[in-house]
Amino acid sequence: MSVETVHTAALTEELTKAERAQVRRSVFQHLAGIVLAPVVKALADRGVFALLADAPAGIGMDEIVDHTDGNRGYLRVALRLLVSCGWMAQAGDAGVSSPTIREGFYSDARYRLTPEGKIAVWLAPLYGEVVSFIPKALFLDDFLFGKSDRAVLSHLQHLVHRAGERWGIYTEGETTAARVHRQAVRYLDGMLVGPAMVALAREGIFRRIEDAPRELDIKSLPGQARSLSCVFDLLALQGWVTRKQSGLRLTRAGRYAARIATAYGVTVSYLPMFDVLPTLLFGNAKIPRIDESGGELLVNRGMNVWGSGGAHNSYFRKSDEIIIDLFNRPLDEQPQGVCDMGCGDGSFLEHVYEVVRSSTTRGRALDTHPLVVIGADVSKVARRITKQRLRQAAIPAFHVIQGDINRPAYLASELELLNLDIHDLLHIRSFLDHNRPYVPPADYTCGSREARTTGAFAYLGEEIPPDELEENLVRHLRRWAPYVGRFGLLVMELHTLPPELTAANLERTLAVAYDGTHGFSDQYLVEHDVFLACMREAGLEADERFQSKFPPSDLATVSINFFTAAG
């Protein structure tokens, strides 16, 4: 048994299920705070809350747009986030719980502050305090472990001091105000805790602390001692670190928080986007997303990949039963190979190959029936990394080619150049369908279909009506259906939740963080049941034997499905 396995097993024994759940609740609220803080500040600065305060019966989107000169699509995303927090209610004129769709838009939906929202939004100046730290949080690892922390130290010390004061609002009791204030404290802490956890985890600091036989002296750590001391004071406020002068130790809860620190990575990776959120909401929504060299400007992709890696690996393992079933069939009934559209860093392909090699009848016959491995991606960087990974994994028969999730016919033609038939492959993809570039459905009239999703969708600030988005998704899937019918399509996907469901379960879901990071970056999350319905409409049917969702409840925001052509 490896050291890592022993460590993980010991950690699991130390913490009860309830204690682990409590740590996750804190993480979920921290991540929600990273999204909500810049949204609240931007809306407050533009007078949206003052406008709502003067309209107890609610106001419509048209009035909000006219008053703020905002970009309708991103405004819709922002307001839906506040509905998901329970701070705002959204209803049609008739008082129904969800907006009426007319000509594809929520044209008669009205927004009003809830009692909780009336308290929450007037805490906007506090959110402004932590939002002011975003430009420094973008480079927190450099300040903590670089040559100088002069530019960040005083600001960090001030904010950690404010966190120690519980931002001056923490209140015991079960009144509405007390509950909202305690919630706000966790959200405000999140803007500091998130970047700190990512910086410490990526630098290997948590491992050094855990491996120390006794309390670790902060001065023995690489980096800037004063700023690191400040960060550990912040984590002590969360109950994750104990301090004794310059010595520190992780608590039981802190060891678990350190173990799942990658959970902060994806949301923190979008801080560049949240730094320019006022521009996206009320300025030029078409600001560049990519620099001249092809680098992404609104997301730290390296951090994003690091953050998603831990979670994705667990989903990869859950997909194994599908892979094993397919490649345990008689050899002449198996796919010739596997094609991963949007292969990213190639990790999923490497995982699939290893499962086939080690756990299936095909794996025992690779000399006579080699498994063809295809990675396809629109990104040159992703293709280069995938080639390196597959080569290092000693996979003998692989190809990495250009591919576009919106163009399966193009993929088929590229495969033909390799003397491969697209129909002879198992197709796989992970967390890609929601990130397809948006293409408006041709000859579609808004309102032609009844929307099922509660999502808010935008492309470069312009609103995409929910019924149009569903039509786009169905057409996207329908383009793929003829190519994946023979051996199927394995899909891992991310989902949203209805705002009312999120509001009732804020401590149990990451939906607020997902909706914020994806909504403002032109990605299109729909609910799990809506996704399945669109698949059926496109002519694809989910195999019930291989369906999984995480968590396994109505709060599912991740699903794994194996689709084949509908009979």
Per-residue model confidence as pLDDT tens digits over 37-48: 999 999 999 999
Higher local confidence (pLDDT), 229 or 380: 229
pLDDT band at 99 (very low <50, low <70, confident <90, very high): very low
CB atoms under 10 Å from CB of 331, counted, come to 11
- pLDDT of res. 308: 84
- To the nearest whole percent, how much of the chain has pLDDT over 70? 94
Residue 101, pLDDT above cutoff 50: no
pLDDT band at 567 (very low <50, low <70, confident <90, very high): low
- pLDDT of res. 484: 94
Run of H or E including 459 = strand 457-459
Q: Which two tokens stand for residue 119?
A: 């308290």
Q: Minimal CA–CA distance to 15: which of 329, 240, 267, 327?
A: 240
Give whichever of 2-6, 160-164, 340-344 has the largest mean pLDDT: 160-164
What does the pLDDT look like over 253-299, one tens digit per residue?
A: 999 999 999 999 999 999 999 999 999 999 999 999 999 887 899 99
- pLDDT of res. 258: 96
- pLDDT of res. 245: 81
- pLDDT of res. 87: 97
Average pLDDT of the residues in 82-90: 95
Residue 512, pLDDT above cutoff 70: yes
Residue 224, pLDDT above cutoff 60: yes
Give whichever of 165-174, 213-222, 528-537 has the largest mean pLDDT: 528-537
- pLDDT of res. 344: 86
- Give dist(CA 502, CA 228) in Å, integer: 35
Pairing of strands 489-494, 425-430: parallel
Q: Is the distance from CB of 233 to CB of 243 less than 8 angstroms? A: yes
Higher local confidence (pLDDT), 447 or 105: 447
| DSSP annotation string for 398-455 | EEEEE--TT-HHHHHHHHHTTT--GGGEEEEEES-GGGSPP-PPTT--TTSS------
- Give the domains, in start order, of the chain with CATH numbers: 1-312 (no CATH), 319-565 (3.40.50.150)
Residue 337, pLDDT above cutoff 60: yes
The SS3 of residue 324 is helix
- Helix %, strand %, coil % for the chain, to 5? 55, 15, 35
| Candidate from 106-115, 251-260, 299-308 with smallest mean pLDDT | 106-115
pLDDT band at 501 (very low <50, low <70, confident <90, very high): very high
- pLDDT of res. 379: 85
Sequence-separated (6 or more) residues with CB below 8 Å from residue 13: none
The SS3 of residue 285 is coil
Residue type, 543: D
- Give dist(CA 37, CA 522) in Å, integer: 20
Average pLDDT of the residues in 373-395: 93
The gap from C-alpha 180 to its chain's centroid, in whole angstroms, comes to 25
- Give dist(CA 519, CA 77) in Å, integer: 6
Residue 1, pLDDT above cutoff 60: no
Average pLDDT of the residues in 353-366: 97
Residue 162, pLDDT above cutoff 80: yes
Average pLDDT of the residues in 448-469: 96
- Give dist(CA 141, CA 198) in Å, integer: 8
Degrees to nearest 5, angle at CA 451 with 541 and 91:
140
Average pLDDT, the chain: 92
pLDDT band at 109 (very low <50, low <70, confident <90, very high): confident
